[in-house]
Structure 1
Amino acid sequence: MEDWARRAAAVTAGVAWVALALQLGIVVVRMAAIGQGLGAAAWRFLGFFTVLTNGLVAVVATAVALYPAGRIATPRLRLMAVVSIVLVGIIYALLLRHVWNPTGWQAVADHLLHEATPLLFLATWGLSRHGSLAVRDALWAMAPPILYLAYALARGEADGWYAYWFLDPAKLGDGRMALNTVLLAAAFLATALLFLGIDRLLARRIAR
């Protein structure tokens, strides 16, 4: 099964890196059209949780494919990555898909970032070795959304731009913003605990 996990990870890493490169190119072209340079394009590109999470998945999947016993391919980091990327796909489908209708290369990038990478890394995670996670690892899976929230709010305070409407305090107000934060935190924790349970079930099944 480990060989299959490495193969799946290689495919996942390839798709994730291509998706990130494509999205970066799109942002560079879009920002150039309004007179902004590479620095502004990179700043905008790195403002999205989707991009940062796909970057995390690309790095972890590359490690699983090439260095499965290394520090970056640990079960804890794989859990962190799978929870974040699965919720990227779910949140996009529920809260963001209706907001815009991308076409052309942007539509391709959207499908890769929000659908292909989540499904491929979910498969990679499922094929990987299981049984070594602890409950505290579910708390580690909360690190990406917590760090991103602080980062996104600091960015928004600095330049007035928020990547996601549901994290824009100027539009939502403090009460709704606080509620959204609690709901997102609960979603991440519940998903992490769900994957922890699946991890234990898979470990028992393989042990039989």
Structure 2
Amino acid sequence: MTPERARWVHLVVAAVAWFALVLQLVLVLQGGRVLDEVDPPGLVARIYRYFAYFTIQSNILVAVVSTMQSRDPTCGIRGWRVARVAALVGITVTALVHFFLLRPLLELDGLDWLCDKLLHMAVPLLAVAAWAWVGPRPRIALRDAAYALVWPVLWVAWTLAVGQVDGWVPYPFLDADEEGWAAVGITCTGVTILFLLLFTLYAWLDRRLRPAPR
């Protein structure tokens, strides 16, 4: 795989991710449903909640990283490597958590259904497939993975803190009032372990798979 072809692969991933993000934002601004909400909140709250979802943040990371890699598919700057591995692991967790924990809760149709599939299935599959096919590899060091872990840890801390103030959390398994702190703690521990395993797996694969692009 040459850098020229790698640019096109990353461009496709970026285009799908940006399309899904913009579509979801338009639906949110129009009062579309978010998970199992029936009555949408005010405009400011809707915008905040849009960006508060880990799904949205991981898709934004993928969109930004893929856009930049469509310009320079061989970039190896440390800060860039951290963002890349954070996007890769974050979007993988998004897909896994959605499939195992959230999918049974969703009853969507029309554009809401389409956007849900794009954000939780299409973009994760494309992002992981693009990395496996065109890289860039090798680029992941354990130190980069450690830095990348800061983002999800801060996200959980912020989400739980804000949830205690206004009573809203983006995902039902983080609702301490409904689930109890013990259940939330177990869930957070499990997701943290999942993150650590994925960071380790991708770092290992990064060294084992063929370097790309050429």
Q: State TM-score, norm by structure 2.
A: 0.87
More displaced, 24-33 or 166-175? 24-33
Letter aligned with residue 13 of structure 2: T
Tell me which residue corresponds to 2:172. 165
Task: Trace 1:51-200 onto structure 2 (pairs within 5 A).
Answer: 51-68=56-73, 69=75, 74-126=80-132, 127-200=134-207
Deviation at 1:70, TM superposition (A): 7.6
How many Å apart are 1:146 and its aligned residue? 0.6
Report deviation, 1:72: 8.8
Match of 1:66, SS?
A: coil
Q: CA deviation at 1:129?
A: 2.6
Kept in 1: contact 2:78–2:144 (CA 8 A): no
Q: CA deviation at 1:131?
A: 2.2
Percent identical pairs in the alignment equals 35
How high is the TM-score relative to the length of structure 1?
0.89
Specify which structure has the higher proportion of helix. Answer: 1
Once the 2 structures are TM-superposed, how far is the Cα of residue 34 of structure 1 from its aligned partner?
A: 5.5
Displacement of 1:80 in angstroms is: 1.1
Name the aligned partner's letter for residue 31 of structure 2. Answer: R
The answer to whether the Cα contact below 8 Å between 2:8 and 2:70 also exists between their aligned partners in 1 is yes
User: How far does residue 41 in structure 1 lie from its aligned partner after superposition?
Assistant: 2.1
The equivalent residue for 1:5 is 6
Question: How many residue pairs get matched?
Answer: 207
SS in 1 for 2:161: helix
- Counterpart secondary structure, 2:209: helix
Equivalent residue in structure 2 for 1:39, among 36, 39, 44: 44
Letter in structure 1 aligned against 2:153: I
Taking only aligned residues, the RMSD between alpha carbons, in angstroms, comes to: 2.5
Residue 4 of structure 1 and its aligned partner are, at CA, apart by 3.0
Contact between 2:14 and 2:66, CA under 8 Å: does it hold in 1? yes
